[in-house]
A = this chain, B = another copy of it.
């Protein structure tokens, strides 16, 4: 990594030039985030971070756009991270959805970034956490992370964001799935979007019914009805987000949230490097002479032995692993 490069980048960053932030995120995406984050880390912790998840078609991008508008009307600068899911079967509507954010493309105080999720390994990419930190360090007041709720990204988003919004749509049977998958645990605020839908009230009753079956210590999830297209309910939603933030600060839970986000990121970083090393081990010593369990033992033994030998354990970023499917 050229030090010249990072200094120029940080100058742009300090001058609050969007290209500085854009390049910083690109560096993080290409695995060159370490020095950058180390230098900018002291500046983070000021932004309000909001996660938004929900099934395809619920209107997340319209909700995002409405929230951006609201935040802008309060004079706040906003960053939006839009995570594209890796699922091949998610939705043809994705590109169309993006378009809804275009009304903010010309606003210099709104920074929008699409990021791919990790693909084979699933979940949010490590660069998503970097992007949140970079937007925070850049001085954006609000960082909104939007992800389609497929796979486990909806769980991870709750580890990254201070406040997690789970958007559900009427007439879809979502509520049952939410209960089944324990998504109650991650929702700070439920958003019933498309509140004009004939089954909207039924969904509200179902969510309320679910909540009555559970006991909460601390924050009890709020439920807000919105029509993101017309902007209806967005003020209520913003109020709910703010009161959650007040709760986090007054209860001290904000620190737990920060620690969780930190741990999440450290785990993803460490795991990424371990996986690359594991891929190399498997490629170089596949041990197809053993059964899979015995082979796993053998691989792990070597994994440790490499450390024992004093042979430099190589955790550096390497070209894409040769073992098919592990990237």
| Interface residues, chain A, with chain B CB atoms under 8 Å away | 33-34, 37-38, 41, 54-56, 86-93, 119-123, 129, 133, 149-152, 154-156, 159, 172-174, 176-178, 180-183, 259-260, 262-267, 269-271, 273-275, 278-279, 282, 286-288, 291-297, 299-300, 303-308, 310, 313, 315, 323-326
Question: Can you list 8 residue pairs at the A/B interface with Cβ under 8 Å?
Answer: A34-B293, A54-B89, A86-B181, A159-B325, A260-B324, A263-B323, A274-B274, A304-B313
Number of copies: 2
Docked-complex contact A299 and B154, CB < 8 angstroms: no
Docked-complex contact B267 and A323, CB < 8 angstroms: yes
Contacts of A38 in B (CB 8 A): 291, 293-294
A-B CB proximity, top 5 nearest: A92-B173, A88-B181, A122-B122, A151-B151, A304-B307
Contacts of A259 in B (CB 8 A): 286, 288
Chain B residue at minimal CB-CB distance from A304: B307
Interface centre among A89, A91, A260, A263 (most CB of B within 10 A): A89
A326 to B159, CA, bound (A): 11
